[in-house]
Chains A and B, each alone.
Chain A
């Protein structure tokens, strides 16, 4: 049985990775799950310098979901290269580094810094709804998205995945813009901008007022967008948004994703990634599926 998939020339032993920001750089979850069992580890967004992130409270639970406004707190690329990459290299899994910045120059700086590192894929986060500068600004305008994709591609030594925001009118416009500008793959969706009000305290539940909604509540939106984008572009898609169980992962694969990322589910069940890989394998066995590609994009 073949579970491996190819993302821009990089072979993932199975189609399961994690969604950036939910898994750190794997160190904490590595004590609970065997990272060797993952197709790839996608790291928390890293910038050229350390970022403090937003004030607390940074998260709030909502029905079937959660809102986060962590604000991309990260230790900066130097610490990431000296500590987190060597940690991940101990495992037989691929490394996808999520890159964030406040300006094009900052993104490019991180990408250049990673050019000499043995990481497998770069995921460019142009869709974080929780930081004022950068982030989403690039992800909501097709011209800005195309431009940053080109700039990153000029310097990148690894294949580039552009991570798209769902907070747009037509995600296929963004997907096509990124593809035309040279993106090697796409990941979608990032969180949906949301808000929760604490009625007892008469204030916002997260200090940032708005935050990114994730979890099973957004899954139908994510599946729809993965399907639409799969029809619109030829580059591979890493699908994500509310994947809690293996059935959800299969849905994304059938909608056209070549791989899937498990995010919020890690909080609900730290063993979720492992269980999803096992579930996909069992499903293939039960249905007599020899190669995972038989189901990728099978629903048209």
Chain B
């Protein structure tokens, strides 16, 4: 398996919530080999914006040859992507990173904020028992699609949807149990999940993010601290783009 950079045709784009967009691209070379938890680098058409934006795969359809990216406008680069229309083209490279490793255990899928999208592809891939916990700031998105995959529990900061609070509040409130956790979201959430998984004695796979440049493991911009010396770097740093973005919660220091 190896990443390719292609000029992908836009199949369509829709807005899901304030500043949250869903972009579907025709990218058979990527869709044919991608798994949940991997990401793509999306390149700006403006030569003044040099660095690709790493965006997780929310959906992978190998048969149709399409990938779906659900992202939030975080700056001018993503704002540019939000203007892409069906029939237009955009440069993307992928699939990048390692993705989740599926375990044959009852699963808890946890997504927070813009860490929610990659969990949708995973929810489709996890065939056994699964519980899905989604944490939102205020507006919800993708919720109905998750409901088609399994039991969904919500948390929101203002309590408008589900439990008032965060995803761990929802886990405790609903007494959610499982044998493995898969999670993606902001670092404070992942840190809390890391502690929770340790306390419960269960495996947690967490997907991290960091500012990236090359996206393929060469530039060492997007490292995270690791508990053990990393076999590639020979220091306590792992490359999020290449060794991750999914890590065992026990192997990284957040």
Task: Give chain A's interface residues, CB within 8 Å of chain B.
Answer: 21-24, 27-29, 31-32, 44, 50-53, 56-61, 63-66, 68, 70, 73, 75-76, 79, 215-216, 244, 264, 266-271
Bound Cα distance from A23 to B218, whole angstroms: 5
Set A59, A64, A215: member contacting B221, Cβ < 8 A: A59
> In the complex, are the beta carbons of A50 and B235 less than 8 A apart?
yes
Which residue of A has the minimal Cβ distance to B241?
Answer: A28
How far apart are B160's CB and chain A's nearest CB, in angstroms?
Answer: 25
- On whether A58 and B235 interact (CB within 8 A), knowing A28-B218, A29-B218, A268-B51, the answer reads no
Chain B residues in 8 Å Cβ range of A70: 219-221
Main secondary structure of the interface of B (DSSP, over half): loop
Which residue of B has the minimal Cβ distance to A80?
Answer: B234
Jot down 28 A-B pairs with beta carbons below 8 A, ordered by A: A22-B214, A28-B214, A28-B242, A29-B216, A50-B233, A52-B237, A56-B211, A57-B210, A57-B211, A57-B221, A58-B211, A58-B220, A58-B221, A59-B212, A59-B213, A59-B221, A60-B211, A61-B49, A61-B50, A70-B220, A70-B221, A73-B223, A75-B234, A75-B235, A79-B234, A216-B47, A216-B50, A267-B213
Residue B83 is within 8 A (CB to CB) of chain A in the complex: no
How far apart are B137's CB and chain A's nearest CB, in angstroms?
Answer: 16
Bound Cα distance from A70 to B210, whole angstroms: 13
Residue B93 is within 8 A (CB to CB) of chain A in the complex: yes
Residue B2 is within 8 A (CB to CB) of chain A in the complex: yes
Bound Cα distance from A266 to B5, whole angstroms: 12
> In the complex, are the beta carbons of B47 and A270 less than 8 A apart?
no
Chain B residues in 8 Å Cβ range of A269: 5, 43
Residue B222 is within 8 A (CB to CB) of chain A in the complex: yes
Which residue of B has the minimal Cβ distance to A51?
Answer: B235
How far apart are B233's CB and chain A's nearest CB, in angstroms?
Answer: 6
Which residue of B has the minimal Cβ distance to A75?
Answer: B234
Chain A residues in 8 Å Cβ range of B78: none
Q: How many residues of B contact A (CB 8 A)?
A: 34
> In the complex, are the beta carbons of B51 and A73 less than 8 A apart?
no
How far apart are B143's CB and chain A's nearest CB, in angstroms?
Answer: 28
> In the complex, are the beta carbons of B50 and A56 less than 8 A apart?
no
Question: What are the 7 closest A-B residue pairs judged by CB atoms, nearest first?
Answer: A24-B218, A75-B234, A28-B218, A59-B221, A50-B234, A52-B235, A267-B213
Residue B186 is within 8 A (CB to CB) of chain A in the complex: no
Bound Cα distance from A232 to B142, whole angstroms: 63
> In the complex, are the beta carbons of A268 and B234 less than 8 A apart?
no
Residue B232 is within 8 A (CB to CB) of chain A in the complex: yes
Q: Which residues 203-231 in B have Cβ within 8 Å of A in the complex?
A: 210-224
Residue B148 is within 8 A (CB to CB) of chain A in the complex: no
- On whether A53 and B52 interact (CB within 8 A), knowing A75-B233, A79-B234, A270-B5, the answer reads no
Chain B residues in 8 Å Cβ range of A52: 235-237
> In the complex, are the beta carbons of B3 and A32 less than 8 A apart?
yes
Chain B residues in 8 Å Cβ range of A50: 233-235
Bound Cα distance from A293 to B60, whole angstroms: 50
Bound Cα distance from A270 to B212, whole angstroms: 14
> In the complex, are the beta carbons of A267 and B219 less than 8 A apart?
yes
Chain B residues in 8 Å Cβ range of A244: 47
> In the complex, are the beta carbons of A32 and B50 less than 8 A apart?
no
Chain A residues in 8 Å Cβ range of B3: 31-32
How far apart are A23's CB and chain B's nearest CB, in angstroms?
Answer: 6
Bound Cα distance from A57 to B223, whole angstroms: 9
Interface centre among B43, B217, B235, by most chain A C-beta atoms within 10 angstroms, is B235
Q: Which residues 167-218 in B have Cβ within 8 Å of A in the complex?
A: 210-218
Interface string of B46-67 (1 = CB under 8 A from A): 0111111000000000000000
Set A56, A76, A264, A271: member contacting B222, Cβ < 8 A: A56
Set B213, B222, B223: member contacting A66, Cβ < 8 A: B213
Set A51, A60, A264, A270: member contacting B93, Cβ < 8 A: A270
